[in-house]
Each structure stands twice: as C-alpha cells, then as structure tokens.
A and B are shown apart, each in its own frame.
Chain A
Amino acid sequence: MARLGRVVLPFLFAAAVWAQETPPIASPQGEQNWDVNLDIRNRWVQDIGGNSQVYRSVVNLGEGPRLFGGDIRFRDSAGAWIDTLDANANSWGGDPYNTAHVRFGLRDVYDLTFNYRNVAYFNNLPSFANPLLGEGLLLSQRALDITRRQIETDLVIKPNATVSPFFSFYNAQGFGRGTTIYRADGDEFPVDTDLDDDLTSFRGGVKLNFSKYNFTLEQGGTTFSDDQEVFFRDGTNPGNITRPFLGRDIVLNELLQHYRADGDGFFNRGVVQGRPASWLNFTGQFLYSRPTINVTHDLTAAGSFVSQALIAPFTGQFEQNLADANRPHSSASWTTELRPHDRLRIVQSWYTDRFHVSSGSSLVRILNTQPETEFEDVAIQTLILNYNQHQVDAIFEAHPRVTLRGGHRFVWGDAVVPEATLRFGSEPTNQGEIRRHVGLAGLSLRAASRLTFSMDFETSPGDRTFFRTGLMDYWKTKTRARYKLSPSLSLTGAFAILDNRNPAQDINFDFQSRQTSVSFHFTPANGERFSVLADYTRSTLRSDIEVVQLPFFGQEFSRYRDNGHHAGLFGDFQVGRARLTAGGSFSVNAGSRPTRYYVPRGAVTVPVADRFKWVAEWRWYGFGEEFFRYEDFRTHTFSTGLQIGL
C-alpha cells in the first residue's frame, strides 16, 4: 500500500500542478498579530545592613509594586496607518531607572521612534577625602541627588525612497539637589545647591539615496539653559576649619549664589557616500557646530571672613559676573576603500577635529571691609584644538581561512590652552603638541568552521603628547578565540594588554593594564531543559608616575594598582513545570582600593494558567571596602509577581 502511495502521489501532485496557473509569491498577506509580555511584581528590600547612603549610591532599588518589564509587538501586513509597532518599557513604578521605547511605522511611508529615559542619580559617598573624616563626620561634601531625563523622537518619511526627509527632537533635563562647597579664604563651607539644566535640540534633513551614491544633509539647532542656586540660610556654618584664620573665626551666616546660563547654537552635517565601481567605496563627512553661551552670576554672602590679599576682616561680600563663550567646531573625515584584487582591501581614513573656544568674563566684587573694597577684573580665554589622524590598512586574505592586516596611523595636532593658573615650579607651557606614528597589524584565523581566532596589535614609539599620561611609547594587543564545540556549546577566550611608557624626565610614566577572560556558554536543545552561561575575567592595572610632592615641590611616585577578579554565572533549569534560575556576579579587587561586590540571585518561574506565570526572585547585594569599612552595606531583595503573555 505504501509503495502504491509512493507511485500515485506524484501523479496526483503532478495533476494538481497542471491544473493551476503560475501563482504570485506566497507570503503571509493581511496577517495581523499582537504579542504582549508584561512582568509585574512587588519588591521588598530588607533593612539595609551597613551604610544605607552607600546602598543608595550603588544600587538604589526601592520597595513596592513595579512594572519590571513590558513588551508590545504588533504586526499588520495590510495596515493602512501602521504595519509595525514595537514598544518596551523597563522598571516603571518608582524604580530609579525607567525607560520606554516605541517604534512604529508603515512600510515605505514613515518610521517613527520615541525614546524616554529617566535616571535618578544619587551619590553620597563619604570616603572621598572628607576633611572632617577625622572628626567622625561622614557626610559627603560633593553629594548629588538628581534626575537626568531624556526624550527623543525621530521621524523618517519614506525611509526607502530616493528622497527621504527626516526630523528629530531631543530634550535632556537634569534637576535635583546636592551638596557643594562655598569657599572663602581660610575655610570651606558645605552648602546646599539646586541644579536645573535643560538642553533642547531640533534637527532635520534629507537623505538622497541613489543606486551608487548617497547624500545626507542635516541642519539643527540647540537651546541650553543652566540654572543653579547655591544657598545657606540663616544659621551658623563653621565650615571645615574650626581654628582661627589670621586671628579670626571664619563663619558663614548666609549665602545666596545664583548662576543663570543661556545658550544656543546650530549645527550642520553633510555626508556623501559612493560606490562608483565594484572595487571602490568612499565616504566623506563634514560636521560643523557653533554653540554659544551667556552667563550671569550673582553672589551675596554674610558672615565673618578675612581677605587673605588685603589681610583685613569683612562681614559680607557681593559679587557679580557677566560672561560669554562660543565654540566654532569643525570636523571632517574622508575614507576610501580600494579592492584592487579580489583578496586585497586597502582602507584609508582621514579624520580632523578642530575647535576654538573663546570667552570673555567681567567681575565686580565688593567686600564689606572698613572702608568698603571693590575689585574689578576682566578675563579673556582661548582654547584651541587641531587634531588630525590618517590611517592606511592593507587587509589581505592570504587563504580562505587566514586574513592578514598591516597598516600605519599618523596622529598629529596642536592645542593652545588657557594660561595655567597653577604655575609653581617650572613655568608650564600653554601650547601642546601631539605627534605619533603607529604601526598596526592584525590576524584573523578561521582554523576550522568551529574555531575562530583574531589578533589586533599596534605600537608606537611616541613623539609628543598633550598630557603626561597620554599614549606615548606604547603597544597594545587584543586577541580573541572562540571554539564552538557544537551549536549549543561554545568557549570564548580573550586577552588584552596595553603597555604605555613615558620615560621623560620628571614623568617616568609606566602603565600596564591586562584583561584575561574566558566564557562558557552551553544551551543544549535551545535551552529547553537547561542552559549555563559562565564568564570570568582577571584584570590587573599598574600605573606609576612621578608627581609633585607638596608643599615642598619634591618628586614622588603616584602608584595605582587594581587587581581584580570578576565573574558571572547564570544557570537555567527546567524542573517539572518550574523554571529555576540561579547564579549571580561578583567583583573582587585588591590593590589601591580593595573592594568586594557580590550580587548572587535566584529565581523561579511557574506557569499558573494559560498565559500567566508566577515568578519569584531573590537577590543579595553585598558591598565592602577594606579601607573604608563604614561604607559597607548588605541587603536582601525579594520580588514576586506575574509574567503575562498575551
């Protein structure tokens, strides 16, 4: 019977073939589908053990109901207004980091993207060289409790057409409160500050897409404002120094300082890309921007002060500054890729970046001495950068499994910076140069379809660098290998090293950083039963450089060491109907700042109904500092809720 079927079936199919006309392409037409996933939970945070201020500075997760994550995906291949919609949201309901991303469009008609990000930044780390630490005061004098929020919208009209206009709007805000320092001669006073800045940018342009050439022209404008208020109201602030200065106790009774900065600017961008022949590609870019800013600043202070310059006491001061600045900034690049032979690519790139900041500032300061003293000052500053880089690489496929690369990079440029006000010892320069020839090499091996290896190497004897710690006589390499034992099992190893030296007199800079990493990824049967992902990195950093020893202007070595072990392990296991996840990460550092940070976690997910899963997760956060034990914190967090798939 089976044999008969084998013979007859082809004839039946053949008859059906005969009876039909040649059809159009068989694609899913008119198909509409929704895919919605939500992860809603409640989180509990155990009472913080140790320093809760540091917990907020590092983790900052709170309690309560949360939308941990949500995804919406919509496809309508026959949609008249929208045929694609993707949306996702992350950490809503009170968490310090919320994001939302929405993208929708209609094929060949428009594409609209909306992004929202809201990040709370809290930093109150007391160990940062607090002058009052010896007196047991742990509060930071550089604390911040602010929010940074961004909204971005991009619209592209006819994204695949020959002429495709685009428009974009971007707004970034920063606001919140912090602690800063008001400095007077002989003392510094921790005071409150309110921060409020706003950047808005509009841009629009057109893309011209031809078969061998593309052009992009864009123009935009920005507005910027920065309002800051620094204040201390009605009290007695003794500051960091409680002993008299020039025979007088320095005390702040009242402070009101207000900055108002308003700026605007415009920018232009032009890009040309071409592929005039099968063996030639080129790209050229020109970018120009010119932001400007105007500043007014008022300061009123009352208290008990001494002017070091006048050696005279005073009880109050008033100060007003007017300033402006602008920065014309041009950047350009040109790249060419030649393929003179099937296996040879020659890639050339040139990049230049030039700007010129010029500013003027006027100051009036009135000190309430007996008699009143008035200062006036005018300052003009210039900061200029000319940076250039040219690179040529030859990439040769010596064998289908071996690609070799060799090249040369030349970096040159100069800078003029404001006259250094820190000018003790030898007279510092205010003009710098950068000049560096770099040799480049690379190797890619595909030793077998399962084994890949790549190496990247560069070295330079160095000539000039702007700053003492810049790249000078250096070499660096990155190597990476991946062995895929099976489609579900892979091993990856990576090694990177940067060795940089500047043997010049009074510098003697010797820097080396290394990272050695391995990872293991096992997902048999697409992880249906279990999957394991593990990685480990050993990092070391050594930096020695001669620095000035104050107050005697001798020389000493600044030494920094970082010896770290970092690892992550995540396992997923199916146990009956439940999915168990266990693992976590740790980072342990020895050296100049010995630190431990552990985040183990475990979770269980169990289907409870057709579209619902119950999820529960535990995490532990543990942080420790060997030198600053009062910074340690530890806590458990527990969350549970439903994962909903519609």
Chain B
Amino acid sequence: MAEPATHHVSIGTATKLPGIDVSICVATRRSGVQLRACYSNMFSLRRILRWTLSSLLLAAFAMPLASQDLPAGYAGSEMCQVCHEDTFLGFQKNPHALLEKSERWKKQGIACESCHQPAQAHAESMEVVGIVTFRAETPRRIDQACLECHGTTETHKGRSFSSHSRNSVSCVSCHRIHQEGGDLVPRGASADELCSSCHLDVRAAFNRPFRHKLQEGAISCVDCHNPHGDPPPAMMTRVSANELVCLKCHADKRGPFPFEHAPVKLEPCSTCHEPHGSSNPRMMARHDVTRLCLECHTTSLLNLGGSPPAFHDLRSARFQNCTICHSKIHGSFVSKDFLR
C-alpha cells in the first residue's frame, strides 16, 4: 500500500532588525520522499514584494489544509514534522508514540502539543510563541508537564520521598523524551553511567576492590534504588511487599530467625557493610571485625547492645574475629549467641 501523502505550508513574518524577515516553508511528502523549501532573510523591497505575492498564492493553495479537524489553537503533529523531521521520526519509535497510536489518551494527531502546548501560533509565525520548549524551562515546569500524565502512575508512588524531586532534578535529567529506543531511559550499564555522572562518590566507591560487581554487569544501580523515590533508606526498592531489596539476592539472610540479631532487622545493612564498595574484605565498614562489633557491644545506658563476657581476651588472636565463633551473625536458627 502506498504511503499516504502529506503536505504542509506555513507562512510567517517576524521583525528582525535591520529589516523584515519573512519566512515561507513548503513541504510535501509522498512515497517516503519529502521535499521542503524554506525561504527567509528578505531585506530588500523587491524581495519582500516577490515573496509576499508567493506567500499569498501559497496561502490560497494551502487553505484546504486548514480544515483539519483539530482543536482550536492546535497545529497538529504533521505540522510539527515539517520542520522537526528528525525529532518526529525518533518520537514514532519511542514509547510516547502511543499518544498518537492509541485512543486512550485522546491525543491522536496532537501528541507533540500535548506536552509543548498548542502550536498554531508557533507554526504560523515560526517564532517561539505560545509553545513550551522545555529547554529554558525550570525543573518545576518540566516536571509538571510530565506529571500531568505520569503523576498518578505507580512508578511515581514514592516521589515525595525522592531526593531527586526535592532537589529539582527534573524528569528530563534522565529521560530522553524524543529519542528512539525501547526505553526512555537507558538500562544496565548505560543507566549506571547516567547515575554516576552525578553520584561521583558512588562511582569512586565502585573502584574499590571489595564491591558489588557493577562494572561486570552483574548488577545495576536501578536493581537496588528506585530513582523515582521510595521510603527510606536511600530510595531502596522493596521486595515481598516490604522487605529491603538486599534480601532479594541474599535470601538466606531474610529470616525470620528464631534468634534474630537486632541490628540486622532494625538498621539497614549499611550499618556494618559498605554496599557500593569498600577497602575492607566482605565490604565491611571497618577494617577489623572486632572493632565493628565492639562499637555497639559496649554497654551504655540508653542504647541497645551489651558487652561481651570477660573470657573474650581481645589480646589473643583467637578472639579477634568475632564471626569465627559467632558465625551466624545475621541470625541463627538454633543458637541465641549465633554460634551455629
């Protein structure tokens, strides 16, 4: 089946010192071939007269196009395509193209203008009139435009907990709205690159020797964190309704254990581990496990955790690695002292 033809004409005038700038764009598309001609920068009276005559003729020929069934003030996506061809075609392969293809959102034929606002004035004048370009908009305006549709989607249920939202990191900081691609945001290694372009300290942590295998592609930032926001800590995602995402892979630490080690349940894993990367084996937060344990296991009046009994002679190497004996430190099935 032959591809239907489209034709677009826009005529505009604008005053630009030192003279008058009249622009005319004419385009026709048929069988995949597009011809487009734009004329501008007319400074002389002779040119103005000539192009005014041409413009009037073109306008007369183009009148039938103005009868398209569009809401008042809208130019239609076809009109946008005339000048923004690459953007338009990229958009067709982008998930947002559903706006054009599905009746659900009632945006067929005006997908571009559903974000950029009605563009008839812009199309006629070829000036930035009446539309929102987003390039110069504030994060608040950008987010408002996106959340007009996405504000109530489940992805954004944790938005109010999001440090991105609070710190004016707008949607387009990560999402590329027009570009072709299965996802508006890169996944896997590309997503990690995107995250680490701002979170430089986290990128540095992954240069340490003991770390999750991010560079090897075994894990990605978004496997653990929800960039749109989730309740504390650290916008981490949940599994099985309300368990921290760490337990998704480390399911053997999930419990419930008949003998729980309180900080494993009351505090995030980062109390003892550096989840992004550490210079200490097992991604521990301290170089010496004895010190790590004693920092809590020293009796103080208002805090949980008591002191070890006196036979733990810490001058002896035998007692310097608590987890040699207390091997089930994440919780034990049978021993209240986590000995087995």
Distance between B50 CB and nearest chain A CB, rounded to angstroms? 7
Q: Is the CB of B154 within 8 A of A428?
A: no
Interface size on A, residues (CB 8 A): 217
Given contacts A26-B4, A129-B324, A449-B136, contact A417 B307 (CB under 8 A): no
Interface centre among B61, B168, B282 (most CB of A within 10 A): B168
Q: Is the CB of A107 within 8 A of B26?
A: no
- Chain A residues lying within 8 Å of B77, measured Cβ to Cβ, are 25
Interface centre among B24, B28, B252, B289 (most CB of A within 10 A): B252
- Chain A residues lying within 8 Å of B294, measured Cβ to Cβ, are 547-548, 558
Is A537 at the interface (CB under 8 A from chain B)? yes
Is A474 at the interface (CB under 8 A from chain B)? no
Is A523 at the interface (CB under 8 A from chain B)? no
Interface with A: B15-23, B101-109, B114-122, B124-132, which one?
B101-109
Given contacts A26-B3, A456-B163, contact A506 B298 (CB under 8 A): yes
- Chain A residues lying within 8 Å of B169, measured Cβ to Cβ, are 454
Distance between B229 CB and nearest chain A CB, rounded to angstroms? 9
Interface size on B, residues (CB 8 A): 155
Given contacts A25-B100, A241-B318, A428-B305, contact A275 B152 (CB under 8 A): yes
Q: Is the CB of B258 within 8 A of A467?
A: no
Majority SS of interface residues in chain A?
Answer: strand
Distance between B52 CB and nearest chain A CB, rounded to angstroms? 12
Contact among A13, A287, A550 for B28, CB-based, below 8 A: A13
Closest A residue to B77 using CB positions: A25
Closest B residue to A198 using CB positions: B251
Q: Is the CB of A142 within 8 A of B327?
A: yes
Q: Is the CB of A548 within 8 A of B241?
A: no
Q: How far is the CA of A550 from the CA of B311 in the complex (A)?
A: 8
Contact with B along A317-359 (1 / 0, CB 8 A): 0000101111101110101110000010101110101010101
Is B12 at the interface (CB under 8 A from chain A)? no
Closest A residue to B284 using CB positions: A128
Q: How far is the CA of A27 from the CA of B85 in the complex (A)?
A: 11
Q: Is the CB of A359 within 8 A of B198?
A: no
Q: How far is the CA of A273 from the CA of B149 in the complex (A)?
A: 12
Contact with A along B272-304 (1 / 0, CB 8 A): 000000011110001111110011111111111
Is B153 at the interface (CB under 8 A from chain A)? yes
Interface centre among A84, A90, A148, A467 (most CB of B within 10 A): A467
Q: How far is the CA of A230 from the CA of B328 in the complex (A)?
A: 13
Q: Is the CB of A17 within 8 A of B307?
A: no
Closest B residue to A537 using CB positions: B204
Q: Is the CB of B305 within 8 A of A422?
A: yes
Q: How far is the CA of A289 from the CA of B241 in the complex (A)?
A: 7
Contact with B along A500-543 (1 / 0, CB 8 A): 00001111000000010111010000000000000101010001
Given contacts A25-B100, A468-B300, contact A292 B314 (CB under 8 A): no
Closest A residue to B4 using CB positions: A23
Q: Is the CB of B327 within 8 A of A97?
A: no
Q: Is the CB of B295 within 8 A of A545?
A: yes
Q: Is the CB of B304 within 8 A of A421?
A: no
Q: Which of B123-160 contact A (CB under 8 A)?
A: 135-136, 138-140, 147, 151-154, 156-160
Contact among A182, A267, A421, A505 for B242, CB-based, below 8 A: A267
Is B44 at the interface (CB under 8 A from chain A)? no
Q: Is the CB of B68 within 8 A of A22?
A: yes
Q: Is the CB of B67 within 8 A of A97?
A: no
Q: Is the CB of B78 within 8 A of A26?
A: yes
Interface with B: A40-48, A211-219, A602-610, A635-643, which one?
A211-219
Given contacts A14-B61, A353-B242, A385-B265, contact A426 B301 (CB under 8 A): yes
Is A88 at the interface (CB under 8 A from chain B)? yes
Q: Is the CB of A506 within 8 A of B78?
A: no
Is A475 at the interface (CB under 8 A from chain B)? no
Is B6 at the interface (CB under 8 A from chain A)? yes
Q: Which of A74-91 contact B (CB under 8 A)?
A: 75, 84, 86, 88, 90-91
Q: How far is the CA of A129 from the CA of B188 in the complex (A)?
A: 37
Is A613 at the interface (CB under 8 A from chain B)? no
Contact among A10, A329, A347 for B37, CB-based, below 8 A: A10
Q: How far is the CA of A90 from the CA of B92 in the complex (A)?
A: 29
Given contacts A86-B182, A560-B291, contact A417 B304 (CB under 8 A): yes
Q: How far is the CA of A259 from the CA of B333 in the complex (A)?
A: 8
Distance between A93 CB and nearest chain B CB, rounded to angstroms? 14
- Chain B residues lying within 8 Å of A446, measured Cβ to Cβ, are 138
- Chain A residues lying within 8 Å of B259, measured Cβ to Cβ, are 359, 361, 379, 381, 418
Q: How far is the CA of A589 from the CA of B320 in the complex (A)?
A: 23
Interface centre among B81, B217, B251, B311 (most CB of A within 10 A): B251
Interface with B: A367-375, A574-582, A592-600, which one?
A592-600
Q: Is the CB of A283 within 8 A of B256?
A: no
Q: Is the CB of A220 within 8 A of B241?
A: yes
Q: Is the CB of B287 within 8 A of A560?
A: yes
Q: Is the CB of B154 within 8 A of A125?
A: no
- Chain B residues lying within 8 Å of A459, measured Cβ to Cβ, are none
Given contacts A6-B39, A22-B64, A335-B161, contact A127 B281 (CB under 8 A): yes
Distance between B157 CB and nearest chain A CB, rounded to angstroms? 5
Q: How far is the CA of A365 from the CA of B271 in the complex (A)?
A: 35
Is A366 at the interface (CB under 8 A from chain B)? no
Q: How far is the CA of A86 from the CA of B181 in the complex (A)?
A: 10
Q: How far is the CA of A39 from the CA of B204 in the complex (A)?
A: 27
Distance between A348 CB and nearest chain B CB, rounded to angstroms? 7
Is A101 at the interface (CB under 8 A from chain B)? yes
Interface centre among B240, B289, B314 (most CB of A within 10 A): B240
The 10 closest A-B pairs by CB, nearest first: A129-B321, A428-B306, A537-B204, A517-B200, A335-B160, A593-B287, A14-B61, A267-B241, A97-B218, A566-B204
Q: Could you name 9 residue pairs across A and B whose Cβ atoms are closer than 8 Å?
A: A108-B98, A323-B333, A351-B231, A357-B257, A359-B257, A456-B163, A482-B198, A494-B201, A568-B203
* New A-B contacts (17) at CB < 8 Å, excluding given A324-B258, A422-B306, A548-B297: A16-B5, A25-B100, A26-B3, A26-B6, A91-B216, A129-B324, A212-B152, A224-B254, A269-B241, A273-B157, A293-B333, A379-B336, A417-B304, A449-B135, A454-B168, A469-B271, A506-B300
